[in-house]
Structure 1
Amino acid sequence: MHQIDWISANIAASATQRSLKAGQSLFRAGARPAGLYEVVQGKIRLVRLDRSGREAVLQLAAPGDVLAEASLFSSAYHCDAIASSEATVRLYPKSALLAELERDPKLLLAFSAMLARQVMTLRTRLERRNIHSARDRVRHYLTVNADAKGRSVTLRGTLKDLAAELGLAHEALYRTLAAMAADGEIERGKGQIRILRSAV
C-alpha cells in the first residue's frame, strides 16, 4: 500500500503538481514548509550536509512515498530535498491538510498510522547503521527487504543510492556485493539481487 492511500478527496482536490529535473531542489533546509509532498514519478532524496560538506542521505523517496510529513508541525524544513532523477511530485497544502486532519478523526488516525510505520522503518535503519561489518549490513538490508519467499530484493534506485541508504562508501558496497556473489551467497541482476543462500 502506498503511504498516501489515506488521503481524502477534499485534500486531493487542493493538490498541485510540480516537475523537477535531476539535481533540482524541491526545498531547502530553513525554508517555510508548503505542505506534504507525494512522489508521483522519479526519485527524491532528503539530505543534510555534514561538517566536511559531504551529503548524508536521510531518505530516498520513490513513487508513492511521502516527504516532509514532520514539517507540517514545524516552522521550517530541517533538510534539503533534491531530485535524484527527473521527477514529478504532488503537493498537498499545509493549511488544507491540517484543517482536514482536525476535522476528520478517521483521517487523523490513518495519518498517525503512517507516521508509526515510518518510525518502525527508521528504527530498522538505525539498527542496520549500528552493524559494523559491511557484509552483515548488506545481509540485514536484504533480509528486511526480501520478497515474500525471501529470495529476491528489488532495488529502489542505483547501487550508489543503496550505498547511501546503508551508510557505506559506494566502493565498499561494490566490493562487498562482489565478494558475496563470488561466495555464492547472492546473484546480481538488473535492478535486483537474488539471495542464493543464507549466511552461515
Structure 2
Amino acid sequence: MKKTLLLLFFLLIGFSTVACDDAGGGSDGITIPSDPAELQTFHLAKMCTGTVIEAAAAYDASSSGPHKIALYNQNGYDNTVYDLMFPSQTDLPEAWTTAFDQPFSDIELVGCLARTETTLVDTCEGYEIDEEDRTGTVEIYDAVYELTIYAAKTGEVLGTEPIETFMDECPSFVMFTTGPGEDLVEERYGLPDDQLVNLVESYVNP
C-alpha cells in the first residue's frame, strides 16, 4: 500500500510540472504574455528556440509594408540563447523595427542568426586587464550564419538565408570575464551588417 501511495504521489508531481509548463512558463522562467502590449525583446527571442509568440502581430505578405522585424544573434557563450541585435549592428531603417525599450506588440517577423561554421583566423594576445597579473587573449573567427525568418505569431518559416562574415583585425577593446577559474580567453566572430538590410528587405517590404 505504501508503494502504491508513493507512486501516486510522484505521478501527481509529474502531472503538475507538465501542467505548469503548458501554461507558458519555460525552463528559463520566461512566460510569454497573452497581452501584445506586454511583449518585450526577451519574449520574441524565444521564437529562435521554437516558441510560437501567439500574442505577436499577424504577418500578411499581401498587405503593404513595412512588416516590422526583430533580429537576434546567437549568444557567443551559450548557443541556446539569442540576443537582440541593436540598430548599430544591423543598419536597419528605423521604420523596419521597434526600439528595444518599447513594447514589441507591432513586431510581425523574427530573424534568427545561427552560426553554422567558424574558422579561426588569428589569436590576439597581450590584453592588459585591471587588477590581474595575467593578460587576456582573443580568438577571432570568420563565421558562416544561417538567417531564418519567422512569422512570430504562427512560427512559420518564411525563408532562410546564408551569410558569410569575416574578421581580419584584432579588437582594440575587449571586456574579459574575470574571477576564479576564468581562462581570460574571449572569442569574437565576424558579424553581418549591411548584408542584413538586403536580405530582410523582401520580407519587410514584399
- Report the TM-score when normalising by structure 2: 0.24
Determine which structure has more spread, i.e. the larger CA radius of gyration. Answer: 2
